[in-house]
Amino acid sequence: MVIKPHRIDLEMFEGPLDLLLFLIKRDELNIYDIPIAQITKDFLNFVDLAKELKLHSAGDFVLMAATLMKIKARMLLPIEADGDDEIEDPRTELMNMLLEYKRYKEAAGAFENMERKERPHYYHIPPSWNPKQEDQTALLEDVKLYDIMLTFQYLLKNYEEPSTHAVAVDEVTLSEQAGFLNGLLQAKTSLSFSSLLEKFESRLIIVVTFLAILEMLRSHQIKIKQTKLFDDLLISRGTKFGS
């Protein structure tokens, strides 16, 4: 009989597939002929523990438990062999998932080795000043979508809704806000996102305006610059401005 540790730290597993691979290894089970009844029983013990610990990923474990029980039930049913159709083992899908996950888990191990090998090397990183940067509005060329999202989240968080008077639901549309921005940019060559924020009284309008900005950015009607992360967004005319 295999001596099983009666308590295993569930947090050491990356998820239900990781746990299943562990159980398969521990009990020296055959991955393509998994004894479903046994592994379901063992797995359920862990799931109870997961629920008890209120683990963040408990839901994923419960889902896998349900899948295991479904497979177990299907294995118990008599197989109706009609025609020449090959009968699929109910465990096939699970097996494929386990094998696929195992490949990447192994790759993650290789990544860890590469990381360990690279860790002791430090690169020269020049100070953050940039000789080409002549004025305050000079741009950080590679503003990524993620940076814009972060900035928006940050600005929205710091934006306090005026609480002095009741705000009625504003019916604003994307095209209205796009037109509004267009008008502003006709009068001025550039404007900052924070200056826009001051003009609006509700989050709804700000969100719609932000969507309008993204849409206009996509169609090259405007350009966006940012000097550093979380900094204000500077909006100016794009190559297809006004079209």
Comparing CB distances to another protein, the nearer of 79 and 145 is 145
Distance CA 15, CA 84 (A): 38
What is the token pair recorded at 140? 């950080």
Comparing CB distances to another protein, the nearer of 17 and 185 is 17
CB 173 within 8 A of CB 215: no
Q: Is 115 in the site for another protein (CB under 8 A)?
A: yes
For the window 56-75, what string marks contact with another protein as x by the rule CB under 8 A? xx--x---x-----------
- Map the footprint of another protein across residues 122-141, applying CB under 8 A: 122-126
Least Å from the CB of residue 29 to another protein: 7
Comparing CB distances to another protein, the nearer of 117 and 165 is 117
Q: Is 14 in the site for another protein (CB under 8 A)?
A: yes
Of the candidate spans 85-93, 121-129, 182-190, 194-202, the one that interacts with another protein by CB under 8 A turns out to be 121-129
Of the candidate spans 117-125, 133-141, 151-159, 165-173, the one that interacts with another protein by CB under 8 A turns out to be 117-125
Burial of 228 (0-12, 13-18, 19+ CB in 10 A): exposed
Q: Is 106 in the site for another protein (CB under 8 A)?
A: yes
**Listed residue (34, 5, 31, 17) closest to 108, CA to CA:** 17
For the window 15-44, what string marks contact with another protein as x by the rule CB under 8 A? xxxx--xx-xx--xxxxx------------
Q: Is 230 in the site for another protein (CB under 8 A)?
A: no
Distance CA 181, CA 235 (A): 9
Distance CA 106, CA 233 (A): 42
Name residue, tokens 């029983």: 41
CA dist list (Å): 182 to 50, 137, 203? 55, 21, 20
Least Å from the CB of residue 24 to another protein: 7
CB 92 within 8 A of CB 50: no
What is the token pair recorded at 129? 């000043």
CA dist list (Å): 126 to 120, 123, 129, 131? 19, 9, 8, 11
Comparing CB distances to another protein, the nearer of 6 and 56 is 56
CA dist list (Å): 39 to 26, 34, 46, 223? 11, 8, 11, 57
CB 148 within 8 A of CB 233: yes
Least Å from the CB of residue 136 to another protein: 20
Least Å from the CB of residue 38 to another protein: 15
The residue within the footprint of another protein, chosen from 4, 41, 70, 103 (CB under 8 A), is: 103
Residues near another protein (CB under 8 A) are 14-18, 21-22, 24-25, 28-32, 56-57, 60, 64, 96-97, 99-112, 114-115, 117-126, 144-146
